[in-house]
Structure 1
Amino acid sequence: MRSGIVFLLLVSQLAFSQQRKVIITLEAKDAVISIAPLRYNKSFACSFTLDDGYISAARVALPYFNGGQVAAPFKDQWGFDEGGDGAIYPGLYYTDGCGNAISFKAAVAVNARSIHFSWDDLAQMKQAGWDILNHSYTHATGKEVKAEWEVEENTRTVQQRLQYNMQQFVIPGGKDDHLSAPHYTNAAFAQGLKVVHSGQYPDYWIEPSTREDWNRLCAGRLFLNSKKPMTDSVFNGIKQHLATGKYFWFNTFTHSVGNDDLWNISYRFTDFKELFNRLAKEYGKEGLDNIWFAPPEAVHAYENIRRTVKPVITRSGSKLTISFDVNILEKYNALTFLVQSNTAIKKVKGVNCRIESYNGKLINITW
């Protein structure tokens, strides 16, 4: 049996390591090909995570981002209102650079022993393209924490329940728990997780191309909460970073997004709507369309692949071929190629990859 499993793994790896090609038909004699710094050639990426598995993530945030009916007001087990207004919303969108709308997608950081929505809710979020992040099994903190077991047991339980392999970790104690943070960080990286998130790390405007610790990344994140007005400061930060001309990943989180400020660590529905509506209006499909609003595993995977791929460009007649190998396997396997040419692209074909979309300036592929 063991030899059979090894054989299947080898076959899988060989199939994955096949050379991939993008064949472009165009009339121009010359074209310059490059890989976009961010997927869909966006100016900045933004991620949003909801910690601790509170029910408003499933009943409010998911339908609000994806389009659907937000839950009406309701009381949770502690007496907090974790609902919204019961209205139907169209969703929030950016495009793939070729006119196709893509909904905002977020992440949830969960403790498998005590999620407050159902496993079916979590499966629905997974199906909608949301990430599930490891937040330890019991949310234990302090210097005596059994970090290795907490990380491993949470990974095992989520994998068993949902067949989902979590790739990133969120420190349970946040910015205030300096005792357990190093234990969790070491345990997460030792078990192969690629990113550890915490408010203890100062940089929530992450510049991917400059980070040397990309596969052991300690990512800061901005805590969105209703204790004080935040919308203007968020947008001032976006404008300042866009003005540099560099490419950044803006990493944010909260806990609940219901009508009450649950435990005084949440983002009330009215504040949640205000910020994300404005974000979509100014930088999404109806605005500048320069935001890539994606879950953190997607952003991390893109940069990881971008660093690895070394495309070879060849020309034969009217066909230009981009050939490349990828020796890493990600949950999100995707690239955006930029094409600089003085004539239009007539046709694009993928070999061992799928052409997601293209226009005269860019080609989006997955595999």
Structure 2
Amino acid sequence: MKVILLNNYSMTAQWEQWERENYQYPSHHLWGATTLPKHGIDVDILLWEKYSFLKKISYKIKILGDLDQQVRLLLEKHDYDIIYSANQGCTYLLAILRAIGLLKKPVVTVQHQSFQKNIWSFLFIKFILSRYDRLFCLSNGIRNHLIKEFNLPENKVHLLEWGIDLPFYKIKNNDSLDAKEREKSFILSAGRTYRDYKTLTKAFKNINYPLRIYSAADPIFNDIDDNSSNIQVFTSYLSWQEILTEHANAYAIAIPLDNTQPKSYIHAIGVTSLLDAMGMGKAVVMTRTVEPCIDIEKEGIGIFVEQGDVQGWQEAISYLLEHPDETREMGNRARRLCEEKYSLEVFTSRLSVLLKDVLK
């Protein structure tokens, strides 16, 4: 059995990075390409970009997906049994062609979002999204919403929770975190997409504890005045080894999200940062979303804060600082949860079963 993999960023670049580092590179951003062969499924990766003019058209007419990848897939000779998209936005045209009988191979996708109920979303789901052979949803919230609100059949919409390449996440012995080490530590916040650093930095102006932010340059950071010497912002590139070292040295992880940015109703935002924190055995404070992929409070691994709630951030961070034993246990539970449920190994095992089921 063979699948061909597409995504909304370059899988080829990820694969080449994995090879350059002699396969000592976390490969979960390859969405099973490195691990599916262990389950009897070979993976070919479609080149992400060849015709730039088609990419430009795709950015303007998003309803058809990535025309550059899809047109090449249709015109070039490829040997595969299933078209596997790691993001639903790449393959809308293929789903349409599949529905009208012009494409014989099954098309499946990882579904990162659901939608507000309105006439446009109903039409989109009826004529495009429902035409996929399978939708693999990153959370139960996304899956349940698509089924209950848009009447998608349960046998077409499946849960597929993502997981990280856990052997690369080397954790410190959290049991040794004493008061002196806490004094030398910091709260870490890393990430670029859909972030609310404005609220987080406001909160830390009244928290007597270091905050380190790793992100892209943003005018928001210009508002950090000299009186906020506890806040450090780094905008230069860090390797994956360096950023995981920062995680290892951090007291806890902050993930401030801007829920107003995604156009979809339920969106799997902040998941990469959350899994990184969990993999490194760290407690988390995170902005609450409509349907979190992982309920950090229910799992006992962190604290939710409401959108834009400066005081809420102050209270949550202060609570962790005042309760080091509980914070340490949150981190330990987070790591165990990754080992049991949110690893690349678990993700791939589930994905292989779902892919094989498509051909039954």
After TM superposition, is the score higher than 0.5? no
The answer to which structure, 1 or 2, has the higher relative contact order (CA under 8 A, 6+ apart) is 1
Larger proportion of helix = 2
Larger proportion of strand = 1
Q: TM-score, normalised by structure 2?
A: 0.29
